[in-house]
Amino acid sequence: MDDTQDISPDTINQHASKMPSFGIQARGFDDVDAATNLATIVGEAIRALGSKFDLSGLDGVTIAVDYNQALLDLDRGYETTYKLTATNSHVTGVAMTPAVLRGDILKSHIVVNAGHVWPLLDLDDVDGRAHAIHVLAHECGHVEVTNAYDRCFPNEMLRPKYGPILEQLQWKIIFAAWDEYAVTERSAGLGESQTETYEDAFLNDLALVDERSNNLILAFRGHLSVEQILSEIYDCYGTLLKFSSYHLGNLQGLGISWKHSEKTALALNNHWFLPYFERLQEACLEIAKDYGEWESKASFTLISEIADDLVERAGLFVTSAGDRLTVNIPYTPETDPLLRK
- The pLDDT value given to residue 323: 75
Rounded-to-integer distance, Cα 106 and Cα 154, Å = 9
Q: Is the pLDDT of residue 90 over 60?
A: no
**Within 13 Å of residue 65, how many CA atoms lie on the same side as its CB?**
13
- The pLDDT value given to residue 82: 82
- The pLDDT value given to residue 320: 84
Q: Is the pLDDT of residue 5 over 80?
A: no
- The pLDDT value given to residue 235: 98
pTM confidence score: 0.92
Rounded-to-integer distance, Cα 336 and Cα 231, Å = 20
The residue-averaged pLDDT of 206-232 equals 97
The phi-psi region of residue 61 (left if phi > 0; otherwise alpha if psi is between -120 and 50; otherwise beta) is beta
Rounded-to-integer distance, Cα 331 and Cα 54, Å = 50
- The pLDDT value given to residue 89: 58
- Which neighbouring-strand residues pair with 4? 25
Rounded-to-integer distance, Cα 163 and Cα 174, Å = 15
297 contacts 153 by C-beta, under 8 angstroms: yes
Rounded-to-integer distance, Cα 135 and Cα 158, Å = 24
Mean pLDDT of the chain: 91
102 contacts 59 by C-beta, under 8 angstroms: yes
Rounded-to-integer distance, Cα 46 and Cα 23, Å = 12
Nearest to 199 by CA among 117, 256, 237: 256
Nearest to 40 by CA among 54, 61, 12: 61
Helix axes 301-314, 195-223, angle to 10 degrees: 50
Q: What is the pLDDT of residues 227-260, one digit of tens each?
A: 999 999 999 999 999 999 999 999 999 999 999 9
With 0-12 / 13-18 / 19 or more C-beta atoms within 10 angstroms meaning exposed / middle / buried, residue 134 is buried
- The pLDDT value given to residue 84: 87
Kindly indicate the confidence band of residue 189, based on its pLDDT and cuts at 50, 70 and 90: very high
129 contacts 122 by C-beta, under 8 angstroms: yes
What sign does the CA torsion over 113, 116, 117, 118 have?
Answer: positive
Q: What is the pLDDT of residues 100-155, one digit of tens each?
A: 999 999 999 999 999 999 999 999 999 999 999 999 999 999 999 999 999 999 99
**Within 13 Å of residue 188, how many CA atoms lie on the same side as its CB?**
21
Q: Is the pLDDT of residue 182 over 90?
A: yes
